[in-house]
Amino acid sequence: MDGIIPLYKEKGMTSSDCVRHCRQILKMKRVGHSGTLDPNVNGVLPVCIGKATKVVNYLMDFGKVYTGEITFGLATVTEDLDGEIIAQERLTKPFSLKQIDQAMKKLTGDLIQIPPLYSAIKVNGRRLYNYARLGIPVERPKRKIKVNYFRQSKPPVFNLQQRQQTCFFEVSCGKGTYIRTLASDLGKSLGVPAVMSKLTRQTSGGFDLSETVSLQHLRTAAATGQIKNLVYDWDVALKNFDHYQLSPAQWNKVKNGGFLDLTATSEKIVLTYQQKSRCIYHLNQQRQLYVPEQMIDLTEGYEE
């Protein structure tokens, strides 16, 4: 079985936990997810199974949408509520809608972001959170990210007793964006400590929250032989590319990794045979021939 399952990840689980449970339920080893979600975050986690693991990177190119909350007046070492508090400030008055909107606007477009110290980014073969846990100083790499929009989803709330303010937001961004760092940077722009206090991934890989299935739903489907009804064809990850139907002669050439001289002009195309996406080709540097980029399924037949 090959394809994509838009899984709903619950809070309290790691993305690796989800993959492990899927392997057990599906009785498959070839399972992978398309973008880590922190344990305290819930939402859409597309899971690729079988040959569809080859299109994980293309799923990640779709971008993501999140909703959540940011608390002003508090900061932690992890930039979310899981970490140790490193800064607190009682706010003398709440920020206005306009002040927050203006600060959010500064954090949209093409940006350079420094990922959290407690993250899975690797530096010299070791993940950043390992440096953090061992207390070893390390320079975090700067990363280019894209934020399509960052806006308030409803009016903020001010807590008079704690002198903290909660901002409710929605953000659309490209891959590699850390929302908890965006939350921390929003606070810095306003001149106060801030922490991401809640987060849900609404869309990922072209799937939205309404299309997801829970692990329990997956278990029930497996027990009743209905798993195939929950699996999407891997071509959903490739729907933004032009598709080219191969002739039998071209198909024979492709199976051997051959180059193709086609009338197409797109940078990348999906080559199909027998109504099935088989591989991705891209134009060479001379822009004369299409050459292999990703081989997905080179078998002759397939079952409906």
**Cα 201 to Cα 146: distance, rounded to the nearest angstrom:** 17
Answer yes or no: 110 catalytic. Answer: no
Q: How far apart are CA 28 and CA 3, in angstroms?
A: 12
**Cα 225–Cα 231–Cα 237 angle in degrees, nearest 5:** 170
Half-sphere exposure of 82 (CA within 13 A, CB side): 13
Angle between helices 179-190 and 97-106 (to 10 degrees): 120
Backbone angles phi, psi at 173, to 5 degrees: -150, 165
Instruction: Exactly one of 38, 80, 185, 235 is catalytic; name it.
Output: 38
Neighbour count for residue 71 (Cβ, 10 Å): 22
CA–CA separation, 68 vs 41, rounded Å? 10
Which residues form the catalytic set? 38
